[in-house]
Amino acid sequence: MNHETHEADLRALLAGIAGPDAATVDLDADLIEALGIDSLAGLRVLAAVEKRFGVRFPDERLGDFKTLRELLDFVGQGGKG
Amino acid sequence: MNAASDGRAPATLAELLRRVANEHAQRPALTSARGDQGEPCTYAELLARAVAGAQRLRSEGVSRGESVVLLAEGRPEWTIALFAIAEAGAAVVPLPADTPPAAVATAARLTQARAIVTSERSSASAQAAQPTPVLSLSVLTAPRAAHEPATAQSAGAQPTPSADDIAVIAFTSGSTEHPHAVELTHANLLADLAALRAVRSAGPGDAFLSMLPPAHLFELTAGQLGPLSCGARIVFSGAPLPNRLIDALRDERITHAMTVPALLDALYHEVLDELATAGLVDPERRGQTPAETARRMADETDAAHRARVREGVRRRIGETFGLFVVGGAAIDPAWSGVVRPLGIRLEVGYGLTEAAPVVTLGVAGECPTGSVGAPLPGIEVRIAEGGEILVRGPNVMRGYHRDAEATRRALRDGWLATGDHGHLDAEGFLFIDGRLKEAMVTAAGETIYPEEIEACYGDAAFRELCVAGVPGPHGNDLPTLFVVPDEERRGDVAATAQRLRASAPARLRVADVVTRREPLPRTASGKVRRAALVAQWIAEARRQDNQDEGT
């Protein structure tokens, strides 16, 4: 899968949790901030990404995945980013 | 030395550990979900590592009557460190792993901590509390190395802590300006534990999933001491991602879990989502509320479909899971209609750190709707004339740390004034009607003081500002910023508030910003009347709603 497919998948998955704003949210925007979701919805986003792409975020670095770009990079590297 | 039970309840945490280590020596006590930390730590090993840890603490100069900060996430080493500190005769000052550096420094200073024990993840925050020495959690709790002398015998030469020594000093908020540190003795904690065990049993075959920070007393007493006192196994979940929690329920054959309303909600959506993916429920229903789900489940007449859904849920969460205890904030009574048909019990309760912490407990769906259960045995609850809930019992704290004034206000004639409003029904069930204190409880069960949040929002664009809790959907408070703009300074008030919100630490971000033209309501001495402010805002919002409906 290429980057664009990943991005479309991620936006669809975000929209399921945070609503339609996910379609247009900036790649570098803090998602919790930009989509007005709480930190638990943030955990649901990470959970959905783990399931969809078969990756596992390292516990001690959960705070590093704040933007769509950071999620895309991690997913693009097969969860080794 | 045989520390077998002589029928007398243990007097200290160290004694409790010796007793269970003797009784359940080779049973697993502590483990991590996914087992990525190797073999589970057995009860015998927990004791050995706690004793070795206590020796290391003593060699750092820690002795009876002193205190040690424990700054870490929930993991097997957390619990070993708790007992190591208790074994050394010192008080534990537990802080959640994400405590900001300034709050760590304040806690260490106020408790005159002799050391800060920290995991790698929190070590940067711990360094901020210099000059307090920082000890590595993994080093402190490591199995005894070959070159270290065994000290099981020499431990007897140390002054033995007594039941009335302080076991835990717990901060009820991360505020640096308004720290409230509760002193709980060994007797307090063990009294609450005994009261819980008098009404709820668990045994060596049970496994408790630990998903809340053990620095919170609810998890510490009910989620850690509870299972350990009866030989059960504790499984630490790591980061509480809902998919991982559900995996752990199944893979670790979990039977019990302590949770908070917001996590319960996240788990529910996770399962609903998977049922939709599996075609067992209509995908349209992914977003439906627990109340809707409960109604649909009650109305479902097709027994075969009902059985398929139940089977689908069980396939996902495993066959063993049977009990959620929900703390921190009130829950929607509809929840019992969601989980009961699946064979899962939901316990509700009321507690506060000052009471070590559990005061009442009840099974949702069995106790009256809206109640938080009945007082535990040995704990008395009564309602003061003005409606405040008062609590008395051996679990009630001896006072706030170095704050005689606050202690005098909270403890009156042996009764703890909780700051919560409530009533008891004829059968003795407690109902919570509201909070008198200005502290807010978030959906995640965390206590935050308005002043902590206000400190992040000061700006010349605001003539006046104030943060107050507006009632939220999970029985929680939504921290809301009320601002009165400075008319002489033109500017986008909303944009300013959003900018300040974005730069505030995540836990101090307000849920909503309300701009008002009228001055904030104040007392004669100039203090903002937060309750009146919230009441005005709710009345105004209702009026607006009615107008909208009318047009």
* Cross-chain residue pair A39–B263, CB shorter than 8 Å: no
Which residues in chain B are contacts of A32 at CB distance < 8 A? 506
| Token duo for residue B49 | 């590592």
CA distance A3 to chain B (A): 25
* Cross-chain residue pair A39–B444, CB shorter than 8 Å: yes
Sheet holding B477-485, edge to edge: B462-471, B477-485, B512-515
pLDDT, position B471: 83
Which residues in chain B are contacts of A29 at CB distance < 8 A? none
* Cross-chain residue pair B269–A44, CB shorter than 8 Å: yes
Is residue A32 situated within a structural domain?
Answer: yes
The size of chain B, in residues, is 551
Is residue A31 situated within a structural domain?
Answer: yes
* Cross-chain residue pair A60–B263, CB shorter than 8 Å: no
Is residue A80 situated within a structural domain?
Answer: no
Is residue A13 situated within a structural domain?
Answer: yes
Q: Where are the alpha helices (DSSP H) in B184-325?
A: 186-199, 217-218, 226-229, 242-251, 261-277, 290-299, 303-317
ipTM score assigned to the predicted complex: 0.89
Domain of A32, in residue numbers: 3-75
Is residue A42 situated within a structural domain?
Answer: yes
CA distance A13 to chain B (A): 12
Is pLDDT of B154 > 70?
A: no
Q: pLDDT tens digits, residue range B172-205?
A: 865 555 678 999 999 999 999 999 999 988 999 9
Task: Please tell me which residue of chain B has the smallest CA distance to A18.
Answer: B287
Is pLDDT of B153 > 60?
A: no
Q: Is B215 exposed, middle or buried (0-12, 13-18, 19+ CB in 10 A)?
A: buried
Is residue A15 situated within a structural domain?
Answer: yes
| Among the listed residues B70, B57, B23, B16, the one whose alpha carbon sits nearest the alpha carbon of residue B42 | B23
CATH classification at residue A66? 1.10.1200.10
Angle at CA of residue B446, ends B513 and B177, nearest 5°: 75
pLDDT, position B138: 94
CA distance A66 to chain B (A): 12
Q: pLDDT tens digits, residue range B351-376?
A: 999 999 999 999 998 899 889 999 99
Is residue A53 situated within a structural domain?
Answer: yes
Is pLDDT of B38 > 90?
A: no
| Token duo for residue B239 | 């980061």
Q: In degrees rounded to 5, what are phi and psi of residue B202?
A: -145, 170
Which residues in chain A are contacts of B478 at CB distance < 8 A? none
> Which residue type is seen at B290?
P
From the centroid of its chain, how far is CA A58? 14
Is pLDDT of B30 > 90?
A: yes
Which residue is it, tokens 């104030």? B466
Is residue A81 situated within a structural domain?
Answer: no
Q: Return the beta strands (E) in B327-461 as ranges.
A: 345-351, 358-363, 374-375, 380-383, 388-392, 399-400, 411-412, 415-424, 430-435, 440-441, 447-448
Residue A12 touches chain B, beta carbons under 8 Å = no
pLDDT, position B456: 84
Q: Which of B199-203, B259-263, B544-548 has the lowest mean pLDDT?
A: B544-548
Q: Where are the alpha helices (DSSP H) in A20-67?
A: 31-34, 39-53
- pTM, to two decimals: 0.84
* Cross-chain residue pair A47–B242, CB shorter than 8 Å: yes
> Confidence band (pLDDT; 50, 70, 90) for A5?
confident
pLDDT, position B37: 61
Q: pLDDT tens digits, residue range A15-64?
A: 888 888 888 999 999 888 788 777 778 888 999 999 999 999 998 888 88
Mutate to test the interface with A, among B36, B77, B121, B243 (most CBs of A within 10 A): B243
> Across the interface, which of B238, B270, B286 has its CB nearest the CB of A59?
B238
What is the C-alpha separation between B155 and B95, in angstroms, rounded? 27
Q: pLDDT tens digits, residue range B78-115?
A: 999 999 999 999 999 999 998 889 889 999 999 999 99
Number of structural domains (chain A) is 1
Which residues in chain A are contacts of B506 at CB distance < 8 A? 32, 39
pLDDT, position B1: 39
| Among the listed residues B374, B379, B383, B334, the one whose alpha carbon sits nearest the alpha carbon of residue B354 | B379
> Across the interface, which of B120, B121, B262 has its CB nearest the CB of A40?
B262
Q: How many CB pairs under 8 A join A and B?
A: 42
Cβ-based interface (< 8 Å): residues of B facing A: 73, 120-121, 238-244, 262-263, 265-266, 269-270, 286, 443-444, 502, 506
CA distance B266 to chain A (A): 7
What is the C-alpha separation between B430 and B192, in angstroms, rounded? 18
| Token duo for residue B310 | 């139940």
**B199 CB neighbour count, 10 Å cutoff:** 13
Angle at CA of residue B227, ends B222 and B228, nearest 5°: 115
The size of chain A, in residues, is 81
